[in-house]
Amino acid sequence: MNSRIPADRPRERLWRLGAASLTAQELVAILLGTGDCHLDALGVAARLLAAGDGVLRRLAARPSSELLQAPGVGPAKAARLLAAFELGIRLAREARPGVVRIAEPADVVRIVGGRLRDLQVEEFHLLALDTRSQVLRDVLVTRGLLDSSLVHPREVFRAAIAEAAAGIILVHNHPSGDPTPSAEDRAVTRQLVAAGQLLDLPVYDHVIVAGDRYLSFATAGLL
């Protein structure tokens, strides 16, 4: 029986926060759709990934006959998995845009400002960076009023850890048009900076986008 709260189930989280916010296990679970008599879809997905030490490439490299023999995976589910793997291969072959490198807060605004500045609701993103400050991934963490109960370190850092990020930059918007950080903004930032120190995954900056204005915690000496 699935005891997860509906809003926390993979499909609902995908529609609420976007596919980029989900783990590999959750994405595989959506492809499977259902589990078996012993495990739900998330459990079957975890079992599939565990067979390849949690590495998607190893799961994708398994022969189709092995997928068909995996408990909880029949022809229909195996076909969906194989189709998804093939789409990933074809997508990787297509031309990729140039790598974006972050040198200053204005670079962050150029990357995410266009889609954040005119939103009527707050969105909280993280940019996962490599050792050369190149953006590995832009992840939507939550949508709605910024609150420490919503922006939990687990949600923020799990995507960064999955990307093997060297550090992260936090970004969110103020629909009011005023980039001045609120008390909650400061509290959330302190909490995430402390968590990053424990995980050896530093928070380099927190940028607030507000219309055509922005504020950098790092530049303002607030980190």
**Span 116-121, mean pLDDT?**
85
pTM: predicted TM-score of the whole model, two decimal places: 0.62
In a domain, 44, yes or no: yes
Same domain, 208 and 109: yes
Q: Are residues 126 and 183 in the same domain?
A: yes
167-173: strand order across its sheet: 135-143, 123-129, 167-173, 203-210, 213-216
Looking at the fold, whether 114 and 168 belong to one and the same domain comes out as: yes
pLDDT tens digits, residue range 37-83? 889 999 999 999 998 888 888 888 888 888 888 889 989 999 999 99
- E strands along 57-193, which residues? 123-129, 135-143, 167-173
In a domain, 131, yes or no: yes
Q: For 154-204, how does the pLDDT look when each residue is reduced to its tens digit (9 = 90+)?
A: 888 988 888 889 999 999 999 999 999 999 999 999 999 999 999 999 999
pLDDT for the residue 79: 93
